[in-house]
Amino acid sequence: MRGIGLNRQPGVAVRRWLVLVLGSALLLGASGCGLRTIPPIRYVPIIGKEKDITTTQVLSKALKDRDLGVRAQAVKLLGILSQSSDKKIKKAAAKILGIAARDSDPGIRLQAIESLGRMEEKYGNKYLLAALKDPNPFVRERVLQVLNERQAQLENSS
């Protein structure tokens, strides 16, 4: 009996060692062998530097809120920003108002269209053109009214 026990022990030790080696090989293979443990320099954040978050980014997030009042207020504030003298802000506000012009609520879409209509043509017309395909006839009609009002203002100022 003693001889049988001796024969089993080396087999169990060999199996354990084999399982350990194979498990280690699988782990190393899955982790990429651990060769890239240090991120490249461009991915290391600068210490003390915080990411700049613009007002238009915050308002863009507010347009995703479930509350209709929050979305309406965001569109109102975007309309104010769209009258800025800074071209970057105007362009960003127009882009986000274009997103608001596709909101699920037709009231928000109408509000966005009115703000886009008060903007310069080069910023707002792209989104007004897309709004002409709106499924709601009141929204499509308002796009045409806004364009008519803008044209009338241009003629009066000339």
Distance CA 148, CA 129 (A): 14
Domain count, the chain: 2
Identify the residue whose tokens are 């504030």.
Answer: 77
What does the mean pLDDT of the chain come to?
83
Query: The whole model's pTM is what?
Result: 0.66
Say which amino acid occupies 66: R
CATH number at residue 141: 1.25.10.10
Quote the radius of gyration of the chain (alpha carbons, Å).
31
How many Å from the N-terminal Cα to the C-terminal Cα in the chain?
113
Burial 42-66, CB ≥16 within 10 A → b, else e: eeeeeeeeeeeeeebeebbebbeee
User: How far is Cα 150 from Cα 116, in angstroms, rounded to an integer?
Assistant: 10
Residues 82 and 139 both lie in one domain: yes
Regarding whether 68 and 21 lie in a shared domain, the answer is no
pLDDT of residue 156: 86
Residues 89 and 35 in one domain: no
Predicted confidence (pLDDT) per residue in 104-138, tens digit: 999 999 999 999 999 998 999 999 999 999 999 99
Give the residue numbers spanning the domain of 7. 2-43
Confidence of residue 22 (pLDDT cuts 50, 70, 90): confident
Indicate if 60 and 7 belong to the same structural domain: no
